[in-house]
Structure 1
Amino acid sequence: MAVAGLTLDRAAVAILRRLAESEPMRPGVLAGLLAVEASHVTRQVQQWERAGYGVRAADPHDGRAWSIQLTEAGRAAVERVRDAGRLGMRMALAHWSEDDLRTLAELFHRMVDDFVTRADVPADLGPTA
């Protein structure tokens, strides 16, 4: 976050990034997508709303509800976070050989393919508490 020039915490940035992919969105829907409680999203929204990264807007389909949408400053913040992530990755891999990078890419694609193939298969998570 420091490299991106943001004073937000990691949780607030995760919400910003997810919202940037499909805004505007109701807080409850966003909480479901992030697998967190709605109150968590509301607290984070308040944080970045104060920073000018987003606003609440009335839901056009339900006058009692509201949606969250990013401001131009919010979209710019998301892009700075993405740029910082790309820079970090380039720095981390700068000294890797071409062979190592190729192997990493092959294994990463294999992992993603295996994950996608098994995403719909119920997992045995063991005994529940």
Structure 2
Amino acid sequence: MTTGASPQGDGTPPLSNETKAAIEALEVELSLMWRRARVASHTLSRSVHPDLEPAAYGLLSVLLHQGGMRLTELARSIGVGKPSVSRQISFLEGVGLVQKEADPSDGRAQLIELTPKGLAKMREVHDGRQQAFHNLLAHWDTKDLSTLATLIGRLNEDGAR
């Protein structure tokens, strides 16, 4: 086990060589997974609309799963600035995938929602993505799937802090 001060300088205990090696191996595997996810994101985006950017697909996905919301909430939910989201929403509105409605709780504000066309397209793409995951993971043991989901959830929680 390695001794001495934490390289982070934050009071956490130093990492053993085994832990460092395990973290580095995990980083390699996650990097590969993220690269594959980016390719899949581009493919999914293009299946919704040929000119759709992956960032806009992410906005549509949030709206599909969480429902209509204000622009500021949407930007916060994906961790980007309002101007970037505003440009994407303008594009999505122009191609008929989202619409702006008056917020019933505050008439001065607007909610961004999927249009019926946007909802149908996103459900179609979502169903296809779900089927692809089922095909990919059908041979996995249920306990392994649950463990992986729990660990990725924990990683996501730590990443959100």
Same fold, TM exceeding 0.5? yes
Q: Is the 8 A contact 2:71 2:112 kept in 1?
A: yes
Identity %: 26
1:6/1:67 Cα in 2 relative to 1: closer, same or farther (>3 Å)? same
Counterpart residue type for residue 91 of structure 2: Q
Deviation at 1:64, TM superposition (A): 2.5
Counterpart residue type for residue 140 of structure 2: R
Deviation at 1:5, TM superposition (A): 4.9
* In 1, Cα distance between equivalents of 2:102 and 2:93: 15
* In 1, Cα distance between equivalents of 2:57 and 2:106: 27
Deviation at 1:56, TM superposition (A): 0.7
2:53 corresponds in structure 1 to 9
The structure with the larger Rg is 2
1:28 aligns with 2:38: no
* In 2, Cα distance between equivalents of 1:77 and 1:5: 6
Long gaps (5+) in structure 1: none
Deviation at 1:70, TM superposition (A): 1.1
* In 2, Cα distance between equivalents of 1:2 and 1:13: 5
Deviation at 1:22, TM superposition (A): 2.2
1:74 aligns with 2:84: no
Q: Is the 8 A contact 2:45 2:53 kept in 1?
A: no
1:109 corresponds in structure 2 to 146
Aligned residues: 116
Q: TM-score, normalised by structure 1?
A: 0.71
Structure with greater helix share of residues: 2
Counterpart residue type for residue 102 of structure 1: W
* Segments ≥4 residues shifted beyond 6 Å: none
> Higher relative CO (CA 8 A, sep ≥ 6), structure 1 or 2?
1
* In 2, Cα distance between equivalents of 1:17 and 1:60: 23
Q: Is the 8 A contact 1:3 1:84 kept in 2?
A: no
1:26/1:119 Cα in 2 relative to 1: closer, same or farther (>3 Å)? same
* In 2, Cα distance between equivalents of 1:85 and 1:117: 23
1:59/1:119 Cα in 2 relative to 1: closer, same or farther (>3 Å)? same
1:52 aligns with 2:89: no
Q: TM-score, normalised by structure 2?
A: 0.59
Deviation at 1:90, TM superposition (A): 5.7
2:18 corresponds in structure 1 to none
